[in-house]
Amino acid sequence: MDEVAHLWWQAIEGTLILFFAGGVIALVLGVIVGAMRVSPVPIARAVGTVYVNWIRNTPLTLIMFFFAFCMPILLGQRINALILATIALGVYTATYVAETIRSGVNTVPVGQAEAARAIGLGFGQVMSLVVMPQAFRSVVPPMMSVFIALLKNTTVAAGFSVLNLGSVTAYLSEHREAQADNLFQAMVTGENQLLTLLLIAAIFVVLVLLLAWLQRVLERKWRVER
């Protein structure tokens, strides 16, 4: 039973690392690409557009495939599967973060910035006092949708030998123990795969609904009245 508990703990840990580390990579890369997409430099805009359109039209499975199988060949060394999957998730989600930021910035009317410039505020002040507070409010709720999608996408790493909630069933079945006494034990030990997978699905449903509820609360709190 200890073995089983250990596996579950590791699986949860794997999912959390994928979610948070992938999220941080996605945020950093996404902010850079989003800034490029709204920058006054035409070449930077073009590069951002190509990146977003290219990666968004590539299946996540293919990106993970590339990172998991091709990267070790190209770099000529073995790399931890969890790290590769996390980078793949980050690279993929960054495009959605960039698009969210871009559309959030675009919801701020040009007149707001023009008025701010007209009363003599400098670039930094226009950004920090006028544009960003408004853009931030319209960015946060859609950003939550991006992170909900990221949470669900962590399961894709299951196909690339990363222990997480998506693949815990397969790992459990390798550590088959003595006959389970009741249905609950059969579910937790992976004896009954149907029940185990239903449990995992239920965990994700609860987490996603929780995040969606948080999103609704934030949306109501920060709705911009125009």
Partner 1 sequence: MSSVLYDVPGPRARLRNRVLGVVTVLVVLALIALTIWRLYATGQFSAQKWSIFSYTRIWMLILDGLWHTLSAFLVAAIGALLLGFILAVGRLSDHAWVRVPVGWIVEILRAIPVLIFMMLMYYGLPVVGVKVDPYVAVVVALVAYNGSVLAEAIRAGVESLPRGQGEAGYAIGLRKNGVLRLVLLPQAVRAMMPVIISQLVVALKDTALGFIITYPELLYVIKLLGNQITYGSPLVPAAIVGGSIYVVLCLILSYIAYRVEKSTRRSPKVRRPQGPGTGEATTMTEFIAVQKGVGKGDATSL
Torsion of CA 64, 67, 70, 74, to 10 degrees: 170
Smallest gap, in angstroms, from Cβ of residue 124 to partner 1?
A: 12
Smallest gap, in angstroms, from Cβ of residue 196 to partner 1?
A: 8
The residue ranges that bind partner 1 (CB under 8 A) are 36, 38-44, 47, 53-54, 56-62, 65-66, 69-70, 73-76, 103, 105-110, 112-114, 117, 123, 127, 131, 142, 152-153, 155-156, 158-159, 166, 169, 192-198, 200-201, 204-205, 208-209, 212
Residue (75 or 119) nearer to partner 1, CB: 75
Smallest gap, in angstroms, from Cβ of residue 165 to partner 1?
A: 8
Smallest gap, in angstroms, from Cβ of residue 153 to partner 1?
A: 7
Smallest gap, in angstroms, from Cβ of residue 9 to partner 1?
A: 19
Taken in order 13, 214, 206, 208, is the CA torsion positive or negative? negative
Residue (2 or 187) nearer to partner 1, CB: 187
Residue (79 or 198) nearer to partner 1, CB: 198
Residue (2 or 42) nearer to partner 1, CB: 42
Residue (2 or 168) nearer to partner 1, CB: 168
Residue (131 or 214) nearer to partner 1, CB: 131
Residue (2 or 191) nearer to partner 1, CB: 191
SS (H, E, C) the chain: CHHHHHHHHHHHHHHHHHHHHHHHHHHHHHHHHHHHHCCCCHHHHHHHHHHHHHHHCCCHHHHHHHHHHHHHHHHCCCCCHHHHHHHHHHHHHHHHHHHHHHHHHHCCCHHHHHHHHHCCCCHHHHHHHHHHHHHHHHHHHHHHHHHHHHHHHHHHHHHHCCCCCCCHHHHHHHCCCCCCCCHHHHHHCCCCHHHHHHHHHHHHHHHHHHHHHHHHHHHHHHCCCC
Smallest gap, in angstroms, from Cβ of residue 73 to partner 1?
A: 6
Nearest to 52 by CA among 17, 86, 18, 103: 103
Smallest gap, in angstroms, from Cβ of residue 22 to partner 1?
A: 14
